[in-house]
Chain A
Amino acid sequence: MRLQYSPNLRIIEVPCTGKVDILHLLQAFENGADGVLVAGCKEGDCHYMVGNLHAKTRVKRAKEILDTVGLGAERVAMYNLSSGEGGRFVEIVTEMTNKILELGPSPIRGAMEKGKMIREAEEVTT
């Protein structure tokens, strides 16, 4: 198929989106991710019956938390598609990447880099 998509995406494979925990989502942002895309099977097509539905509720909760803490709910999203839909995957990745580019970098990453610079400056002066 050889479809091209944005290279600034890191894929983390899980056996099923049911494995995706709210902590995984929050910790991704704590580690400086600008956005998180959860790609699950279509609703009703889960091999484990309800894994993608569990993921859906976790993504919803993560959205609420991200909104409350000031990062914005749009930085996390869940899409449903089958493993045979390579073209759709590229569309989704492009859509999400454009949305994140519009939102700009996560303020967490900025704060992490600032903190790192302050620590390095302190190390130099001491």
Chain B
Amino acid sequence: MIKAKPKPLEEIIDNVKDLNKLLIAGCDGCVTVCEAGGLKEVKILAAALRLYFTQAGKQVQVDEASLTRQCEKEYLAQLSDRMEGYDAAVSLACGVGAQYLAEMYNHKPVFPGVDTCFLGVNEERGLYSERCQACGRCILAETGGICPITRCSKRMLNGPCGGSDKGKCEINPDIPCGWELIYERLKTLGQLDRFERPVEPKDWTTSRDGGPRKIVREDLRI
């Protein structure tokens, strides 16, 4: 899932301090799971902003909403009769949702309320770590189900490198060496012979080559 973390409150206040009617728009998707942008976070941010404006002697309307997903027009349309009344919206969705909200309500400023970080897993509550870089051509079948593009700091296709030390990466002893993980996993699977076949140079054309990417699935389109 997409992982995000709340933006510093000071930064959000700086963006909205001169406005009079604000909508805090959350997303019930990925950002809710990592507790950065669901209805709960919407309520917390709205309460904090109301406190800020009230103590500053300003009467500012701060309203709350949370959509099932901000990355879909159908859900964004639920705001169509409300958006006109606001000076701006603070989106607590990921960068995708915030941009789609801005695209849908073109004439209204949309400020991000979270910093979108990566595609990752919930290791435990409050601890999220990266697992995928969305390179567009998955090689997990070759690497024991562990992605060297994400887990190796150098994105090496044939590791480990000389910086691997006792199973840790040279850039930080808290980071496991991705290729050590791959080795151990292939050993468990009895597939260590894969190390005898070098991975061919990766086709990076699916990863940011040619600008913003698009998927067209003719079988799904109506």
Contacts and interface: CB of A to CB of B under 8 A. Distances in A.
Interface of A: 22-23, 26-27, 29-30, 64-66, 68-71, 107-108, 111-112, 115
A71 B44 contact: no
A14 B59 CA distance: 33
B51 A22 contact: no
A111 B48 contact: no
Nearest to B9: A68
B135 interface: no
B56 interface: yes
A22 B44 contact: yes
A108 B55 contact: yes
A27 B54 CA distance: 13
A64 B8 CA distance: 10
A82 to B, nearest CB: 28
Interface residues of B, number: 17
21 contacts: A22-B44, A23-B40, A23-B44, A26-B44, A27-B47, A30-B47, A30-B51, A65-B44, A65-B48, A68-B13, A69-B9, A69-B48, A69-B51, A70-B55, A70-B56, A107-B54, A108-B51, A108-B54, A108-B55, A111-B55, A112-B54
Interface string B47-91: 111111011110100000000000000000000000000000000
A109 to B, nearest CB: 10
B21 to A, nearest CB: 16
B51 A66 contact: yes
Nearest 8 interchain pairs by C-beta: A69-B52, A26-B47, A107-B55, A69-B51, A68-B9, A111-B54, A70-B55, A65-B48
Contacts of A27: 47
